[in-house]
Amino acid sequence: MAERSLIFPAAEYRDRVARLQDQMGEQGLDALFLTAAADVFYVTGFLTRFWESPARPWFVIVPAAGDPVAVIPTIGVELMGRTWIADIRTWDAPDPADDGVSLLIDTICGLVPDTAQIGVPMGLETHLRMPLADYDRVSAGIAPRRFVDGTNAVQRTREIKSTAEITAIRTACDIAGRAFARVPEFAGVGRPLDQVFRDFQAALLHEGADWVSYVAGASGQGGYGDVISPASADPLQSGDVLMLDTGAVRGGYFCDFDRNYAVGEVSDAVRRTHAALWEATEDALSALRPGMLACDVHRMLCEGLTRRGATPGGGRLGHGLGVTLTEWPSFTPRDTTPLRAGMVLTLEPGAMVGDGRMIVHEENIVLRAEGAELLSPRAPYDMVELR
Amino acid sequence: MAERSLIFPAAEYRDRVARLQDQMGEQGLDALFLTAAADVFYVTGFLTRFWESPARPWFVIVPAAGDPVAVIPTIGVELMGRTWIADIRTWDAPDPADDGVSLLIDTICGLVPDTAQIGVPMGLETHLRMPLADYDRVSAGIAPRRFVDGTNAVQRTREIKSTAEITAIRTACDIAGRAFARVPEFAGVGRPLDQVFRDFQAALLHEGADWVSYVAGASGQGGYGDVISPASADPLQSGDVLMLDTGAVRGGYFCDFDRNYAVGEVSDAVRRTHAALWEATEDALSALRPGMLACDVHRMLCEGLTRRGATPGGGRLGHGLGVTLTEWPSFTPRDTTPLRAGMVLTLEPGAMVGDGRMIVHEENIVLRAEGAELLSPRAPYDMVELR
């Protein structure tokens, strides 16, 4: 068990904490206070699906120097004890009278001085995974120490993936690639979409996913209307484009890419649009370099589509990826995050095919000094046909 | 698609909102401000796995009178448009400059008077699913209107399940029951635990789960050390107790129960402990009545175990269930929530088998005026043997 629950050797986590502490130093933070599953996993290696239960909060404090401290419910002690974290403090949660609040206050006050500024991720794409009323109690209890915005320290660290992380994401991508290759075995004319979703999830598990945190998709004549719906029981029909999109998880790391399939005979408009998406992606794969901004990628993908006569659709045309299905930055016109070597990203251009119908294409890459390196097996230029 | 995305007829949601509004009236709330997936789904029927992406917040406001208003990212408009919600306001998320904040302030100020108190779930077992810094901005922007604790209004409403909800949870339980019955097909001596987890998830999908949000379990000689770990690659050995626990989802509703299996020959201590767990559960099934408190169930299960010579283990011995894997109340010594007819609950006694090893048993029930009615197919008295 030890190996699987630690996920990576302790040196990997020590390096992450050192990088977090560098960021904290730059930003004048005396500690980070982490509550979200992804941040806790990132620092400790504590991997469990138990986050699905909203009953209990979990806390990790990363001081400006020294090792992190975990303040967690008793039910997690054995699993946290198998990670590299040595200082684990616990209480019997859920406790309506004091759900870790006083233990947390004691721990924080013992770790950082009165003057401390403690970073909490509170910016874009974050949330606080604990009851708000308890956060206010902790905030009052640690005064004059103060909670301040620590988003930047966490995001600038986590967005640069280590070699081990890139390997993990590539493994998840390979698993999904093999599952996508098996779609013709279970999808075709007359097959209900919800059954296709189930079979696709089973294929992902069979190919090695530990679990399947995300499957979405759609099927419609000449394209689809949205990309986040659960599946209907409607049967696939000739002329449909079937899209499947997955965030399958292996060792706590996600892939996030989709594939489009032609159900029977699809229209020329569909074929042309898919080709434009593929080619615009190819352009971006060639052109991407560290130093560009997130908004540059959005523009590049839009221009690539427009140049080929396609109409860009969808809001964000890609994003970060790793410990969660999606991470910052976002390829939108307004995101000016600089791209850096070591970022793992999705390229996700969408294009309209007539009124309210679209096709969305997606690949996963790691950005190197010299440019993009694919992590997902490249989609075929022509959509695979399903009969 | 319409049928699946609405999940239930609009009357179901209107009734929920009416009950929420009764609670709001009792507690002097002018509106509820909801951000969590479960609360949004409960009020609107908006069901998507897209919550897995932390990029975008989603908001629903329930005024003290009248229909709810959804303030959501553009990407969700089509799906929300297929629910019963008519007033849907949108922005292009994620927007680093203003991620729905000004739209939200305008919406709230247009819905409730200056003097309004707006309930936000901020108590035990809740969290705010939006960036904390944006919550503070909204809080300042709606002044003199004030956010106050709305936990009670939401929890007293959601904890009473409708007939449609009970049917949905029973369906999820039936699916898991069929998958548990198939475990002997793929689990036995020499089979790696992580493969068993994968096969079990595939079996749940095959039996009708839309997706599998939670599988945990463990295997160990004469019991196991914890119940929230991911699976190791260790092969099952004769003498192991294998436990599998699942929160499989159908139509947005969860089951949550486990089963224990004897791998080859298990010890007499294991058999005795399993029998004590089964019998203590049977006692509770007979004795449970509305009007008892959550802590009474904890005491009843502990006494049932002790009376049979078993040592109670684990912290909480059961909890609510429905739109999330676990809901309040918690069967702990400190939870004094009154049990009411219509609650769906798990009975989850755990008992120690020697040093640091335990066995956990779990069933799902709905509490009726006359007592407990099983939703999960009752576990066999003797553990099923795997060869």
- Can you give the residue ranges of every domain in chain B? 2-158, 163-386
DSSP notation for B101-143 = HHHHHHHHHHHS-TT-EEEE--STT--B-S-HHHHHHHHHHTT
Number of residues that make up chain A: 387
Q: How far apart are CA B166 and CA B342, in angstroms?
A: 8
DSSP element (H, E) containing B22: helix B10-26
Closest CA to A229 of B45, B374, B192: B45
pLDDT score for B5: 52
**A83 contacts A94 by C-beta, under 8 angstroms:** no
Joined together, the tokens standing for residue A255 give 């892939």
Place of tokens 């850096």: A340
Closest CA to A72 of A63, A85, A84: A85
**pLDDT, tens only, A18-32:** 999 999 999 999 999
Confidence label for A8 from pLDDT (cuts 50, 70 and 90): confident
Question: Span B47-62, mean pLDDT?
Answer: 97
In this structure, which CATH number among 3.75.10.10, 3.40.350.10, 1.10.3720.10, 3.40.50.1700 belongs to the domain B2-158? 3.40.350.10
Q: How far apart are CA B50 and CA B52, in angstroms?
A: 5
Alpha-carbon distance A130 to nearest alpha carbon in chain B (angstroms): 5
Q: How far apart are CA B314 and CA B37, in angstroms?
A: 28
Q: Is the pLDDT of residue A229 over 90?
A: no
Q: Is the pLDDT of residue A76 over 90?
A: yes
Confidence label for B8 from pLDDT (cuts 50, 70 and 90): confident
**pLDDT, tens only, A188-213:** 999 999 999 999 999 999 999 999 99
**B172 contacts B375 by C-beta, under 8 angstroms:** no
- Would the CB atoms of B93 and A149 count as touching at under 8 Å? no
Interface test with A, best of B56, B99, B211, B362 (most A CBs within 10 A): B211
Q: Is the pLDDT of residue B2 over 50?
A: no
**A350 contacts A361 by C-beta, under 8 angstroms:** yes
For β-strands B327-330 and B363-368, DSSP reports them as unpaired
Closest CA to B249 of A184, A319, A230: A230
- All residues of chain B having their beta carbon less than 8 Å from the beta carbon of residue A247 are 52
Question: Span A245-261, mean pLDDT?
Answer: 98
pLDDT score for A356: 85
Q: What's the CA dihedral at A369, A41, A14, A17 to 10 degrees?
A: 70
Q: How far apart are CA B172 and CA B166, in angstroms?
A: 10
**pLDDT, tens only, B80-130:** 999 999 999 999 999 999 999 999 999 999 999 999 999 999 999 999 999
Q: What is the interface size between A and B, counted as CB pairs within 8 Å?
A: 243
Place of tokens 């099934």: B285
Alpha-carbon distance B174 to nearest alpha carbon in chain A (angstroms): 17
Residues 6 or more apart in contact with residue B109 via CB below 8 angstroms: B142, B145
* pLDDT > 90 fraction of chain B, expressed in percent and rounded: 95
- Would the CB atoms of A216 and B49 count as touching at under 8 Å? yes
Q: Please provide the average confidence, as pLDDT, over all residues in chain A.
A: 96
pLDDT score for A177: 98
**pLDDT, tens only, A295-323:** 999 999 999 999 999 999 878 999 999 99
Q: Is the pLDDT of residue B295 over 50?
A: yes
**A65 contacts B287 by C-beta, under 8 angstroms:** no
Chain A residue closest to B127 (CA)? A131
**A245 contacts A227 by C-beta, under 8 angstroms:** yes
With b for 16 or more beta-carbon neighbours within 10 A and e for fewer, the B97-113 pattern comes to: eebbbebbbebbeebbe
Helices A193-206/B193-206 angle, 10° precision: 170
- What are the beta bridge partners of residue B69? B61, B87
* Nearest beta carbon to residue B202 from set A3, A124, A202: A202
DSSP notation for A39-63 = HHHHHH----GGGG-TT---EEEEE
Q: Is the pLDDT of residue B194 over 60?
A: yes
Asked whether the bond before B54 is cis by omega within 30 degrees of 0, the reply is no
CA-to-CA dists, residue B213 to A51, A348, B216, angstroms: 10, 26, 10
Superfamily for A2-157? Creatinase/prolidase N-terminal domain (3.40.350.10)
Number of residues that make up chain B: 387
User: Coil, helix or strand for B178?
Assistant: helix
Question: Span A206-227, mean pLDDT?
Answer: 95
- What are the beta bridge partners of residue B385? B262
pLDDT score for A6: 58
User: Coil, helix or strand for A323?
Assistant: coil
pLDDT score for A10: 94
* Nearest beta carbon to residue A132 from set B94, B128, B324: B128
Question: Span B255-260, mean pLDDT?
Answer: 98
Residue B52 DSSP code = G
Confidence label for A1 from pLDDT (cuts 50, 70 and 90): very low
Q: Is the pLDDT of residue B356 over 90?
A: no
- All residues of chain A having their beta carbon less than 8 Å from the beta carbon of residue B248 are none
* Nearest beta carbon to residue A149 from set B133, B151, B336: B133
- All residues of chain B having their beta carbon less than 8 Å from the beta carbon of residue A151 are 133
* Nearest beta carbon to residue A212 from set B50, B211, B234: B211
DSSP notation for B226-295 = -SSPPP-SPBP-TTEEEEEEEEEEETTEE--EEEEEEESS--HHHHHHHHHHHHHHHHHHHH--BTBBHH
- Would the CB atoms of B234 and A1 count as touching at under 8 Å? yes
Q: What's the CA dihedral at A230, A233, A235, A236 to 10 degrees?
A: 10
Q: What's the CA dihedral at B284, B285, B288, B289 to 10 degrees?
A: -170
pLDDT score for B3: 42
* Nearest beta carbon to residue A124 from set B96, B212, B324: B96
Interface test with B, best of A47, A228, A323 (most B CBs within 10 A): A228
With b for 16 or more beta-carbon neighbours within 10 A and e for fewer, the A280-294 pattern comes to: bbebbbeebeeebeb
Q: How far apart are CA B277 and CA B265, in angstroms?
A: 19
ipTM: 0.97
Q: How far apart are CA B221 and CA B237, in angstroms?
A: 8
Alpha-carbon distance A11 to nearest alpha carbon in chain B (angstroms): 21
Q: How far apart are CA A222 and CA A210, in angstroms?
A: 34
Strands (E), chain B: 31-34, 59-63, 69-73, 87-91, 117-120, 146-149, 211-221, 240-250, 253-254, 257-263, 311-313, 318-320, 327-330, 344-347, 350-352, 358-360, 363-368, 371-374, 384-386
Confidence label for B29 from pLDDT (cuts 50, 70 and 90): very high
Question: Span A98-107, mean pLDDT?
Answer: 98
- All residues of chain B having their beta carbon less than 8 Å from the beta carbon of residue A209 are 198
**A175 contacts A250 by C-beta, under 8 angstroms:** yes
- All residues of chain A having their beta carbon less than 8 Å from the beta carbon of residue B210 are 194, 197-198, 230-231
Q: How far apart are CA A278 and CA A359, in angstroms?
A: 11
Residues 6 or more apart in contact with residue A311 via CB below 8 angstroms: A305, A351, A352
Domain boundaries A163-386, CATH class: alpha beta
* Nearest beta carbon to residue B79 from set A73, A131, A228: A228
Q: Is the pLDDT of residue B201 over 70?
A: yes
Q: How far apart are CA B244 and CA B216, in angstroms?
A: 6
Q: Is the pLDDT of residue B4 over 50?
A: no
